[in-house]
């Protein structure tokens, strides 16, 4: 998390339909272009924006024709009590985006349903357990759906690696715990059943679009053995995809 004591009120920048605008800490208008977010990715889709904050990407998805958008957040909205930007922008856009107050680790397909598109931007490195967080997020991605993962990325070599920010903090922010390299993000995605379809390297940031195109690795159950079967299924609900693959084989 950035240093919020020093931050202005807004994290995201907006241009509203009534001609007014807001300059936040991030130039989100440029960032959305850098991420190559386009209308066709959202059109007609059910979208989840994980860690939505002021909601720029939720409202963009809605403007780009998403059929339903859920903005999910917890830390900034609840712990810091800073949801006024999201509410203000929502009024300006006369939005139907639904806000869900939920921690990533509490994401539950039985409550949220499944999504065609998920934006998981700027959140992975804040998670105490980034792999569990990614599993939770992907557990609500429908088979064939796509996720955009955006993260700080370390330039480590060769093997999939995750750097711990323990004594040395990233950007002076105690809420940053992990710096994955690109291979780490790609292979974590593969383990949860997603293949990278597009990768963008933007300085120290990484954007990966990935498609959920196979069952999660059966290796994941090796660490689920003390959980009841029901919660294992919640982390890896893959029967639909298995059925699809079976049909393809017949």
Ligand X SMILES: C[S@@+](CC[C@H](N)C(=O)[O-])C[C@H]1O[C@@H](n2cnc3c(N)ncnc32)[C@H](O)[C@@H]1O
Stretch that binds ligand X, among 73-81, 192-200, 204-212, 232-240 (CB under 6 A): 73-81
Q: Does 55 bind ligand X (CB under 6 A)?
A: no
Considering the rule CB under 6 A, would residue 51 count as an interface residue with ligand X? yes
Which residue carries 């792999």 as its tokens?
131
Select from 35, 41, 53, 177 the one that contacts ligand X (CB under 6 A). Answer: 53
Instruction: Indicate the residue whose CB is closest to ligand X.
Output: 51
The minimum distance between CB 210 and ligand X, in angstroms, equals: 17
Please report, as residue ranges, which positions from 11 to 40 form the binding site for ligand X (by CB under 6 A).
26
Among the listed ranges 118-126, 161-169, 178-186, 198-206, the one in contact with ligand X (CB under 6 A) is 118-126
**Sign of the Cα pseudo-torsion (247, 209, 101, 230, in order):** positive
Interface with ligand X includes 103 (CB under 6 A)?
yes
Grouping H, G, I as helix, E, B as strand and the rest as coil, residue 125 is helix
Query: CB burial class (10 A; 0-12, 13-18, 19+) of residue 213?
Result: middle
Going by C-alpha positions, the residue among 203, 191, 121 that lies closest to residue 155 is: 203
Site membership for ligand X, residue 149 (CB under 6 A): no
Position 232 contacts ligand X (CB under 6 A): no
- Number of Cβ within 10 Å of residue 175's Cβ equals 15
Q: Does 179 bind ligand X (CB under 6 A)?
A: no
The verdict on 104 binding ligand X (CB under 6 A) reads yes
Rounded Cα distance between 197 and 208, Å, is 7
- Decide if residue 60 touches ligand X (CB under 6 A): no
Q: Is residue 47 a contact residue for ligand X (CB under 6 A)?
A: no
Pattern 77-96, binding to ligand X, x per CB under 6 A? --------------------
Q: Would you mind telling me the total number of residues written for the chain in this entry?
A: 250
User: According to CB under 6 A, which one of 47, 48, 121, 162 is a site residue for ligand X?
Assistant: 121
Residue 186's alpha-carbon distances to 48, 110, 134, 190, 196, in angstroms, are 20, 27, 11, 6, 6
Q: Are the C-beta atoms of 51 and 121 separated by less than 8 Å? A: yes
| Shortest Cβ 214–ligand X spacing (Å) | 27
Interface pick for ligand X out of 25, 34, 75, 196 (rule CB under 6 A): 75
Residue placing its CB nearer to ligand X in the complex, 104 or 184: 104
Closest-CA residue to 196 (of 214, 180, 178, 179): 214
Total number of residues binding ligand X (CB under 6 A)?
A: 13
Parallel/antiparallel/unpaired status of strands 115-121 and 141-152: parallel
Comparing C-alpha atoms, which of 226, 240, 232 is closest to residue 132? Answer: 232
Distance CA 238, CA 108 (A): 14
Which of 83, 126, 135, 238: binder of ligand X (CB under 6 A)?
A: 126
Residue ranges in contact with ligand X by CB under 6 A: 26, 51, 53, 73-76, 103-104, 121-123, 126
């Amino acid at each position: 998390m950035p240093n919020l004591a020093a931050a202005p009120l807004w994290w995201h920048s907006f241009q509203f339909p009534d001609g007014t605008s807001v300059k936040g800490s991030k130039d989100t208008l440029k960032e959305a272009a850098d991420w190559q977010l386009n209308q066709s990715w959202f059109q007609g889709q059910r979208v989840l924006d994980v860690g939505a904050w002021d909601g720029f990407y939720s409202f963009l998805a809605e403007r780009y024709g998403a059929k339903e958008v859920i903005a999910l957040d917890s830390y900034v909205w609840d712990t810091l009590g800073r949801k006024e930007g999201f509410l203000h922008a929502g009024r300006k856009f006369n939005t139907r985006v639904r806000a869900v107050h939920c921690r990533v680790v509490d994401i539950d397909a039985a409550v949220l349903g499944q999504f065609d598109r998920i934006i998981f931007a700027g959140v992975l490195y804040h998670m105490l357990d980034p792999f569990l967080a990614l599993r939770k997020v992907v557990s609500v991605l429908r088979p064939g759906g796509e996720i955009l993962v955006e993260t700080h990325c370390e330039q480590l070599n060769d093997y999939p690696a995750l750097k711990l920010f323990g004594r040395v903090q990233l950007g002076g922010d105690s809420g940053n715990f992990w710096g994955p390299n690109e291979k780490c993000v790609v292979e974590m995605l593969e383990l949860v059943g997603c293949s990278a379809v597009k990768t963008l390297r933007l300085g120290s940031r990484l954007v990966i679009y990935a498609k959920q195109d196979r069952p999660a690795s059966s290796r994941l159950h090796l660490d689920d053995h003390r959980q009841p079967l029901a919660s294992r299924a919640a982390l890896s609900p893959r029967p639909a995809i298995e059925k699809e693959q079976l049909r393809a084989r017949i």
